Structures are given as C-alpha cells and as structure tokens.
Amino acid sequence: MCRTLLFLILSLSYVSADDKILILGAVPQEIVPLVAQLQGDQKTVVQGIPCDIGKLGSHEVVIALTGVGKTNSAMVTTALLMQFHPKVAFMTGTAARIRRTVKTGDIIIASTVSFHDAGSLTADGIVQGKLDTNGKLVTTTWFTHTGEKGNPFSFADTPDLVTYAQKIAEHYVPEKVTLDGVTYQPVVRVGTVTSGDLSGVTEKKIADIKAKIDPDLMEMESAGFVQVCQFFQVPRLVIRSGSNWAEERNNDDYLRLSPIAAKHAALFTAELVRQFPSAPLSPP
C-alpha cells in the first residue's frame, strides 16, 4: 500500500513542462564553458544545490552540478526536475574511452546508457539482473509510469533528441585537438555510454564491460540521470566527450586530458541549446 501511494505521489508531482532547459555536469570543468556563455546569469540555490539561470540564445537554461557518482546524479536530477519542470534536460561532460577508435575530444551523442556495476557479480563477471538459485534472470519491481517489472539497467535517450543532435552535428565543427605532437579533428557521432561508481577499473573489468555491454565510453553519472528523466517522462540527452583511456590508475591521464573533453562536450551542448526548436518534441 505504501509503495503504491509513493508511486502515485511521485507520478503526479511532476506537472506540465516549463520553458526552461536543464543542463547538468558532474564536476566544475564540465559546466564552466556553459556558464561563461550565459546572458543575464543569476545564481540561486535549490535544496542546497547551486544553480546558474540565464539565457543561451533565446532559451532560458538552468545549469548545475550533480557531483560525482550515480546516486548524486539521480538525487540532483530529481530535485531540479521537481523545482524547474524543464521541457528538456541535458547531461554534458567527460568520460573514459572504452572503444579504441574513440579519441580524446571525440563527442558521443548517447543513444543509450546503462549501468555496468549493477546486477549480479558472478565468476564470469557482471550479469545485468537478479539471478535465482538456478542462475536464471528474475524480473524485479521498479517504479515507472507504467508500473511494469523488468531489469532496469539500460535506458534510452529520447530518440527525437538523438536525431536532432545528429542533424546539428552534420554542420558542427569541433575545435581541433593537438596531443603528443599530433593535430586532428574530433568527430561527433551517436554511440553508447555506460555508468557506474568506479573511477578506475582493472583490465579484467574492462574486458567484461566490452563483452557484456560494448560501450564507447564509461563514466559515473549518466545512467542515473537518464533513469530519473525517464521516470518523470522528461526528454533527455547525454553528451559526453572522451578523455583518458579506461584503466585502473587513471588520475594523471584524467587530469591531463579531461579539460579537453569537458570543453568539447560543453561547446557542442551549448550549440544544441542555441538551435533547439521552439516546437514541442514528441513524447519521450
């Protein structure tokens, strides 16, 4: 009874969308290029969360940090969706590169995001779901606007937003990157991202992620963000740029390469917001 009541309360609490666009990043460098472009920047605090409110082009936006990790991401996303009722939400930032063809500064428009560290840990690595005594997947109850059961470990970004971002990418030219004496033009393309509360990962874990999920990038926040947006039926899109390789001890490479990735993801996100259509999207 209590669970049913909670579901009804949460479902009804998110009212019709406002005209604002919500943009979230996990750490300061991921939102600094966006805040710098705001017109009429006003600062406010929501449930202890600092927010910048202003305009990018003709659109009023709210920009904020989630902090690191999927719980922080889900918590902040929930609080700001409930406060501002945005018509669309973006998450921008850096991510470790899993796929070897991805270069530092390449921008991934996420079609799907997933959790790589949720489910059942077996001798053969992670299984995305609960296993019974016979090793078979068991569906689990989780809250959605339809109330169905399932294994909630993978989530889709809003298809119309993915298509829109692809169209913008056709004419978008990212800044060139020079690393180790080599200069190249980063690419912008659709791909996949996986999230979990692990910063560094072993080669064995990387191999398991590749085998089970095969993502382009790995980070710590997007799946929590998308799961919350999906629950509240808010159109959403994740934009991530590759920084360092996914590895066990990544701090030095992350510090060296993440500013490049953070800037590239933020600038492309800003372009998406500036050109965002005034006509409503189809249902998420």
Let me know if 147 is exposed, middle or buried by CB neighbors in 10 A (0-12, 13-18, 19+).
exposed
Q: Two tokens at 24?
A: 């979230």
CA-atom Rg of the chain in angstroms: 19
Any idea what the CATH number is for the domain that residue 151 is in?
A: 3.40.50.1580
For residue 186, being part of any structural domain is answered with yes
What is the domain range of residue 74?
A: 2-274
| Collapsed DSSP state (helix, strand, coil) of residue 153 | coil
Which of 261, 233, 268, 282 has its CA nearest to residue 109?
Answer: 268
Low-confidence ranges of the chain (pLDDT < 70): 1-17, 120, 141-151, 251, 279-284
Across-strand partners of 140?
150
In a domain, 282, yes or no: no
> Does a structural domain hold residue 124?
yes
Residue 134 lies in a domain: yes
Inside any domain, residue 179: yes
**How many domains is the chain partitioned into structurally?**
1
As given in the structure block, the two tokens for residue 146 are 């339809």
- pLDDT on residue 202: 83
Structure confidence by residue, pLDDT tens digits, 63-113: 999 999 999 999 999 999 999 999 999 999 999 999 999 999 999 999 999
pTM (predicted TM-score)? 0.88
Do 107 and 152 contact (CB within 8 A), yes or no?
no
- Residue 8 counted as domain residue: yes
The span from the CA of 178 to the CA of 91, in Å, is: 26
Identify the CA nearest to 26 among candidates 252, 272, 223, 273: 223
- The answer for residues whose C-beta is within 8 angstroms of residue 270's C-beta and 6 or more apart is 33, 34, 37, 56
Which 3 state secondary structure label does DSSP give 236? strand
Q: Is residue 44 part of a domain?
A: yes
